[in-house]
Structure 1
Amino acid sequence: MAHSISAFRSFHGRRWQQLLASAALLAAATFASAAEPAKDHPLVGRYEGSTMDAFQVKNYDEVGLLREPIQTWGDPKPKPNLLRVAGKVSLYYYHLPEGRSLLEVQRNYEAGLKAKGFQVMFSCGTKDGSCYRKDPDRSEPNTDVSELATVIDTPEWPLIGYGRTYVSTYFESDGRYLLAQNDTPNGKVYASIAFAEGSFRGSFALVRVVETKAMETDKIVFVDASAMQKSLQETGRISLYGIHFDLDKDSIKPDSQPTLDEIAKLMRNNPQLRVQVVGHTDAQGEEPHNADLSRRRSVSVIAALAKTGLDARRFTSRGAGSKEPVAPNTSEDGRAKNRRVELLRL
């Protein structure tokens, strides 16, 4: 009898430990799922067993998508022929499960996309050289993964993934790529997926989904010369969001002219006024690049104002980069507020 009771207790003790272990595993799985930054895109999904490392969405942006083999030879070497599309851009960084080749993952994505109505526009791999045009001076195909990595790593990819590094660093031993298009009732949807294999961090699927749509308009809060003067008198500064630049460049877009005209009007109405033009960026990208870009943009603004006949000596320029945010850089709304041109009264 005593032996039976002891066995009963031993069995139920082990059973209780198993239940506790199962509960702990379930809690860990639930926590891991809850910790993921977003849900999968409904038209693209993820490879089974993958975990989402990072996510970002922009309501409207323009990106370049690789659509044909890259030419890696020539003097000068031509730029890649990218498909430029604009719309809602969603980025997903998936850490792939161990033991799965990039080819297997790529072909599963292709099959899944076709089942959702996509047509594959371009598909390639670096190991067989299909990502590159044939070099007439070489007998062997180009299998250098770094060439694909460099083209994939365009300025639109933010530093949000593993270690907040450039996506080109994900590619070490192998790389593959896939571009597909779906004509939906709401417009074209593009799925651009880069597959990267590395010896340190493992394999990743870098998924970019672009849902083409018209940009929302009437979002600019126009600041006229009188409002600028009032803010400069009261606070010594004014933030302007009506000056726009080409992506990752210091060239001013034409739709910035109304704000430039108001700055010129402000300066003419106040002939003794001197201001510093400060460029600001969000926190995406490395700070040395952001600081240089913001400085060049402030110089471009002064050059544009000088063309209206204003004395350039009434202005000084400064690039603050991302060092002086007015909102958190953790959301697109916050980053949009940080991307600005500021006038400081001297």
Structure 2
Amino acid sequence: MTQLLHKANRLLGNALLAWMVVTPCGVAAAAAAQDHPLLSGMPGYTIESRKHIDFGTLPDAGLMYCAPSKKCDATNPGFSAEGKLIAEGEVTVIRYETQGAGGTLPVARSYEAAIRSIGGRKVTWSEGHEGTQIFLIEKDARRTWVVLENYFKSNYRLTYIEEKPMQQVVTANQMANAIRQQGYATLYIVFPNNSAAIQPDAKPAINEIVALLATDKSLRLSVEGHTDNVGSASANKKLSQDRAASVVKALIEAKVDSSRLQAKGWGGEAPIADNRNEEGRAKNRRVELVKLK
């Protein structure tokens, strides 16, 4: 990360640094110490609020369209087919404000230039300097989305989404206890956006399901996929069915008898949390192992 910041400093030049400083280290001010490591605040602005969560997505639910064709699912990672930013990972939200003159144009131009200098690109449809701009930085096989909300002269907000899967492995014993007590166990297996492909990160969870079935030879399971309510109901139902089928396929490849398994997709029909916020949507994107009679 430090190398990225040094590169940004070299390329921006003194004229741009008069508006924005991308600092690699050694910042003395207490407020600057709370900046995101990738980018600092504009000179003359202070941090009004800062929020960080280990795993989530864009806090606001508004649609964000990317450029130039709006085919966000094909051209820009992290977007749904409808053009909504649905990237997930470590989220940091920082709001800056100033008591001085401020201005939306210098904020927009400075961040756009700074992000471009470290290998990022602008992926929003809107080309204006006011409003919401989304940038994507891809470095060392890791993606970071930067959302700049720049509506007022006196303040702006930066949201960083650093791609990573939500880590959660439920042990075979925990699954067995849940199935015994309530008839099902809940797993959070991370899939790529709009995809049913099993990722290497899912292997520990698959191994625990295999261990569960090996321990109880009479157990038969319905592997049931669930989504949040983002996107169309029909697409979500198909996606959840495909994901459940992918888990079943992985279990069969691990030598589980196919007669002990079935796959079912519910889409967003059975939420367990509030879809109006990201915390709830993350809980709704799940796989349940339901005991078959």
Q: TM-score range by the shorter chain?
A: 0.5 to 0.7
- Report what 2:186 is aligned to: 239
Does the alignment pair 1:111 with 2:111?
Answer: no
Are the aligned partners of 2:145 and 2:162 in contact in 1 as well (CA < 8 Å)?
no
* Distance change (3 Å), C-alpha of 1:278 and 1:113: same
Q: How many residues align?
A: 204
Does the alignment pair 1:275 with 2:221?
Answer: yes
* Distance change (3 Å), C-alpha of 1:312 and 1:192: farther
- Report what 2:242 is aligned to: 296
- The amino acid that maps onto 1:211 is Y
Determine which of 99, 116, 127 is the counterpart of 1:176.
Answer: 127
Are the aligned partners of 1:189 and 1:209 in contact in 2 as well (CA < 8 Å)?
no
Are the aligned partners of 1:43 and 1:116 in contact in 2 as well (CA < 8 Å)?
no
CA distance in structure 2 between the aligned counterparts of 1:317 and 1:224, rounded to whole angstroms = 21
- Report what 1:325 is aligned to: 271
- The amino acid that maps onto 1:280 is H
CA distance in structure 1 between the aligned counterparts of 2:157 and 2:232, rounded to whole angstroms = 21
User: Residue 191 of structure 2 aligns to a residue in which SS?
Assistant: coil
Larger radius of gyration: 1
Counterpart mapping for 1:72-87 below 5 A:
80=75, 87=90
Any gaps of 5 or more consecutive residues in structure 1? Answer: 1-41, 45-56, 73-78, 91-107, 123-150, 154-174, 183-187, 196-206
How far does residue 231 in structure 1 lie from its aligned partner after superposition? 1.8
CA distance in structure 2 between the aligned counterparts of 1:246 and 1:181, rounded to whole angstroms = 17
* Distance change (3 Å), C-alpha of 1:180 and 1:249: closer
Residues 214-270 of structure 1, C-alpha deviations (whole Å, 9 max, x = no match): 8698x63x32112212221222111112x2111121012211111111111111222
- The amino acid that maps onto 2:234 is P
CA distance in structure 2 between the aligned counterparts of 1:276 and 1:333, rounded to whole angstroms = 26
Please report the TM-score for the alignment, with normalisation by the length of structure 1.
Answer: 0.47
Are the aligned partners of 1:43 and 1:113 in contact in 2 as well (CA < 8 Å)?
no
Are the aligned partners of 1:114 and 1:120 in contact in 2 as well (CA < 8 Å)?
no
Please report the TM-score for the alignment, with normalisation by the length of structure 2.
Answer: 0.54
- Report what 1:190 is aligned to: 146
Does the alignment pair 1:211 with 2:157?
Answer: no
Percent of matched pairs sharing the same residue: 27
How far does residue 324 in structure 1 lie from its aligned partner after superposition? 0.9
CA distance in structure 2 between the aligned counterparts of 1:266 and 1:345, rounded to whole angstroms = 12
* Distance change (3 Å), C-alpha of 1:338 and 1:180: closer
Residues 54-102 of structure 1, C-alpha deviations (whole Å, 9 max, x = no match): xxx97646899968x6699xxxxxx536699965277xxxxxxxxxxxx
- The amino acid that maps onto 2:223 is V
How far does residue 330 in structure 1 lie from its aligned partner after superposition? 2.1
Any gaps of 5 or more consecutive residues in structure 2? Answer: 1-39, 43-51, 59-63, 80-86, 94-102, 118-122, 138-143
Counterpart mapping for 1:120-139 below 5 A:
121=116
- Report what 2:6 is aligned to: none
Residues 118-158 of structure 1, C-alpha deviations (whole Å, 9 max, x = no match): 64749xxxxxxxxxxxxxxxxxxxxxxxxxxxx858xxxxx
* Distance change (3 Å), C-alpha of 1:192 and 1:248: farther
CA distance in structure 1 between the aligned counterparts of 2:221 and 2:270, rounded to whole angstroms = 18
CA distance in structure 1 between the aligned counterparts of 2:160 and 2:171, rounded to whole angstroms = 35
CA distance in structure 2 between the aligned counterparts of 1:194 and 1:289, rounded to whole angstroms = 33
Q: CA RMSD for the aligned pairs?
A: 4.6
